[in-house]
Amino acid sequence: MVTSQGSNLKELLAKDEQFLSSALYRVFHIVTEKGEGPYLYTTEGVKYLDLTSGIGVTQLGHCHPEVVKAAQEQLSQLIHISCVTHHPGNIKLAEKIADILPGDLDNTFFCNSGAEAVDGSIKLSRYVNPGRPNIVAFRGSFHGRTLGSTALSSSKSLHRINYDPLLAGINFVDFPNCWKCPVFKDPSSCELECMDLLTRMFKLNLPPESISAIIIEPIVGEGGYVPSPNHRFNYLKELRKICDEYNILLIFDEVQSGIGRTGKWFACEHYGVVPDVITIAKGIANGLPMGAFSTRKKLMSLMPPASHGSTFGGNPVSCAAAQKTLEIIQRDRLLDYVFKTGSELMKHFQSELEKKVKVRGYGLMIGLEFTDKEKVEKVIDLCFKEKMLLLSAGTEQKVIRFIPPLNIEKNILFDAADKIINIIKKT
């Protein structure tokens, strides 16, 4: 990636290399010190349009003034309490989340990240289905960086190298990718043959009675922004039927697709399917660390007190930021805006780039799939030179993901899209 040659930048990057772990990869070698709305500002005074939202986190843009004020007010009252006592912010946020959760889900455990939320959901599944050690996950998925969530992930082998043995009992099946069908069918004549991959596994090597949970991203995130099939058949509905038949817990990982990103509070609402457990993180607190997994009170009650915990989970300051974030999304009717604007944007991309990329997604969770990784890298680099930040995705890094703030102004959004389209056309 291209970097500014300022002496201050060179000094900071040299100290970064000296004192920070190289395990933490950074995409762009600039140093940002301020954020405002959809923009980031570097130590060199350069302004960038952030179309990454911190990987789908700053749903309302950087440093939204109302969220900042809510966090500041909470900082002056109570910063931390852990599980020593109850606190009102934790309770109010859990009540608010119950209002927006799909179906009859109504009970939440707070943690710090999506990976922790996934780990907690797996522990819950073991309590709900004791003696059933197996879990089914999908190839191309990404669920986090802890040892448990890493075991469930398969979007890149790099994430797993040297970490074996990981959590036992994890079994993978191909994700139903209609843009690269795992059973080589055409979506226009699909009869959901990809479901046979799962049922055949049940018959041959994995008795369903041994499975405690199936975990799936309704829209694959890191693996390429791939929505589950919902054109001729609804894959998630069929998966729901199978889980009901065999008393398997159905977990939807909505860490990246939740909290309004797709124009619904949760992506599963586009499919009309309610899971048993849903994982939440990223955009819920607009940048402050917050994660959660939610289920029905009846199921959560099967985990006795102290069977799971978190020192910092449900931190009062993060709760205040999350509560204000949810309030603003609802008050400003951003779900409608995101769905409508995202649909218009995808049509614009499709009409302009029909022969160059495959366009897919919901709301402002949009993937542009190219024919090769090199083109993606070149487009991202050229956009960087034009002061726009974009990220890649996909098991082969052939997808550009478009994840701007939910409240980004339409003219800014479409101006950026036109610049990207022009760059792609010239590449």
Its pTM surpasses 0.85: yes
Backbone φ and ψ for 46, nearest 5 degrees, come out as: -95, 140
Name which of 425, 408, 369, 311 is nearest 53 in CA terms: 408
Name which of 271, 280, 211 is nearest 238 in CA terms: 271
Domain ranges of the chain: 68-331
Between 195-204 and 235-246, two packed helices, what is the crossing angle to 10 degrees? 20
**Two structure tokens written together for 219:** 């829209």
- What does the pLDDT profile of the chain (427 residues) look like in tens digits? 444 445 589 999 999 999 999 999 999 999 999 999 999 999 999 999 999 999 999 999 999 999 999 999 999 999 999 999 999 999 999 999 999 999 999 999 999 999 999 999 999 999 999 999 999 999 999 999 999 999 999 988 888 899 989 999 999 999 998 888 888 888 888 888 888 999 999 999 999 999 999 999 999 999 999 999 998 889 999 999 999 999 999 999 999 999 999 999 999 999 999 999 999 999 999 999 999 999 999 999 999 999 999 999 999 999 999 999 999 999 999 999 999 999 999 999 999 998 899 999 999 999 999 999 999 999 999 999 999 999 999 999 999 999 999 999 999 999 999 999 999 999 8
Taking the C-alpha atoms of residue 251 and residue 240, their distance in angstroms, rounded to an integer, is 10
CB atoms within 10 A of CB 297: 12
Q: What CATH fold (topology level) applies to the domain 68-331?
A: Aspartate Aminotransferase; domain 2 (3.40.640)
Backbone φ and ψ for 66, nearest 5 degrees, come out as: -70, -35
Residue 138: strand pairing partners: 173
Quote the distance between the C-alpha of residue 297 and its chain's center. Answer: 24
Backbone φ and ψ for 127, nearest 5 degrees, come out as: -75, -40
